[in-house]
Structure 1
Amino acid sequence: MEPILLIIAGWWWVAPATVAAGAGAYGALTTGRRRARRLELDAARHEESQAYRALVAAKAQVRTAQADVLAARARSGVSASPIQTKRALSSAREAEKSASFALRASRARVKSSYAQYRAQSTAEPLPIERLYAMHDAVNARWLSYETDIDKALAYPAVTDSRHPATVAFLRAQREAQFVRPTAGRRVAPAQFVAYRTAVADLDAALVEAEHQAGVPGAPRTPQGGVAGVLGSVADVIDAAIPVLEGLRSAVVLPRRFTPKPPDSAAR
């Protein structure tokens, strides 16, 4: 009996320590899974923070440009300020407007990511896993032009490293592989955003290479990211302005009826 009591007295702390270690490991594992599942939401919030900082910087740039205009106007002694300062102010205002739109878009993305995070189940793949799958799918699609003999003979420009579009794809492929997070490690929101952008650029580069090679069914993506999209919208608006002007000139608006004053002779 005494040896048993001695063992218990010497090793009584083992059981509580084991339970505490198990509870800590379970808590860390659960927290890690929850963090990995809301990675897309955290990335959206990170983008919102970056967009807010960009808007603050753009507003400060507008104030600086306004001060430069006033200073130039004071030096010249006339009401009109130099053209350079006016152009700088106009450019700063356009940058502020773009930053404001970017902030609105980032806030809408946060709401969408939050709704998606609340609606998804634990059986669905993690956001980083979905991004891995997209990256691997793009690489597999490009490799099919090398492994498939029919595709290799029909569209050799897709894999030709001398073709400009293929060179752009290979650069995007190298960039996406460079920023790809290591599997099994914790991914920061900024790292997730950089990887997602690289994968999107990689897919757009392959689509452009397929389009220039004449692959049927390959849609052409707008170049320049957001600037390309805004440029396309601007082209549509510019094309619609003449039509609207023609319609406005074709419509004859009736004059407002104004009763004549009563004749003094009729009184």
Structure 2
Amino acid sequence: MILLFVESWWWVAPAAAGAGAATYAGVTARGRRARRLELDAARRELSLAYHALILARVRVREAQANVLSARAVSGSSALGDALMGTPATVEARRQLQEAKRSEKAAVMTLRAGRARVKATTAQYHAASSADPLPIEKLFATQDAVVARWMAYETDDAKAIAYPQLSDTRYPATLAFFRAYREAQRLRPASARDRIPPEQFLEYRDAVRTLEAAFDEAERQAGAAESRPAPRTSIWPVPAWRPLRLPTSD
């Protein structure tokens, strides 16, 4: 009887062990992917910058060809074109200068992207499992901005001193609330979700815009001087709750 039982259930232990190993491997892979998200996003950004530079250089070549074509049609030399250009050659030169400026900007963006990848790679290798995930850092940054705004809503003295920060008739305050809505729209539901690098970049940029918008709203309201110096770390943060925005009526 015992032999029959063993023969019937011999596969249970290996299967259970295999399932456990697969689950552990899946969790570990998700954890690595979540921790590597900022690096993957930086590499994606670098790739986009590289392709943007290629397009910028193509536009420069096209603009140079347009200048030569305009000169040929007008029958003027390079010196004569520089002194008394026809409207077509003047416009072609203007487009060439604009294309060169765009190319220069693309080169600077690519250099910045390379530096960002290098720095993010170092941060990734130096991070420990106790450190917050990159997306959690963005959550904390967004929540910290909301907490700053809430201080003007919950503190009676601040609410009286700086009513502009709750009044959407002021352009800077309205810009802040719009930036908040955009950041909230792009905010992932959970840090454990599978987030593609493109979504991370969009959310990161939205959070940066939110920070800048509130800084400007505070400055225009005259409240920037009253804000205490930021802490060296904003982690951990309280449980997040959606911001209740005032109406624009």
2-structure distance, mates of 1:90, 1:121: 48
1:11 is displaced (CA, Å) by: 2.5
Query: Corresponding residue for 1:148?
Result: 155
Q: Deviations over 1:59-85 (max 9, x none)?
A: 111111111111111111112261100
1:216 is displaced (CA, Å) by: 4.2
Query: Corresponding residue for 1:190?
Result: 198
1:35 is displaced (CA, Å) by: 1.2
Query: Corresponding residue for 2:176?
Result: 169
1:208-219 to structure 2, matched below 5 A, reads 208-217=216-225
1-structure distance, mates of 2:20, 2:65: 63
Matched residue type, 1:46? R
2-structure distance, mates of 1:214, 1:103: 37
Contact kept? 2:215, 2:224, Cα under 8 Å = no
Change (3 A) 1:216 1:101: closer
Match of 2:208 among 196, 200, 211: 200
1:147 is displaced (CA, Å) by: 1.2
Aligned-pair RMSD on alpha carbons?
Answer: 1.4
2-structure distance, mates of 1:177, 1:70: 50
Matched residue type, 1:188? P
Contact kept? 1:207, 1:218, Cα under 8 Å = no
Gaps of 5+ in 1: 220-267
Query: Corresponding residue for 1:61?
Result: 59
TM-score by length of 1: 0.78
1:199 is displaced (CA, Å) by: 0.5
Same amino acid, percent of matched pairs: 56
Q: Deviations over 1:7-61 (max 9, x none)?
A: 3222222222211111111111111111111211111111101110110110111
**Partner SS state of residue 217, structure 1:** helix
Gaps of 5+ in 2: 228-249
Change (3 A) 1:197 1:29: same
1:91-102 to structure 2, matched below 5 A, reads 91-102=98-109
Change (3 A) 1:75 1:83: same
Query: Corresponding residue for 1:19?
Result: 17
1:102-181 to structure 2, matched below 5 A, reads 102-181=109-188
Question: Which has the larger Rg?
Answer: 1
1:177 is displaced (CA, Å) by: 0.2
2-structure distance, mates of 1:97, 1:138: 34
Query: Corresponding residue for 2:239?
Result: none
Matched residue type, 1:151? K
Aligned length: 217
Matched residue type, 2:69? A
2-structure distance, mates of 1:59, 1:8: 72
Larger deviation: 90-99 or 115-124? 115-124
Larger deviation: 6-15 or 48-57? 6-15
TM-score by length of 2: 0.84
Larger deviation: 159-168 or 116-125? 116-125
Contact kept? 2:165, 2:221, Cα under 8 Å = yes
Matched residue type, 1:153? I
2-structure distance, mates of 1:205, 1:218: 17
Query: Corresponding residue for 1:9?
Result: 7
1:143 is displaced (CA, Å) by: 1.4
Query: Corresponding residue for 2:238?
Result: none
Query: Corresponding residue for 1:74?
Result: 72
Higher RCO structure (Cα 8 Å, ≥6 apart) = 2
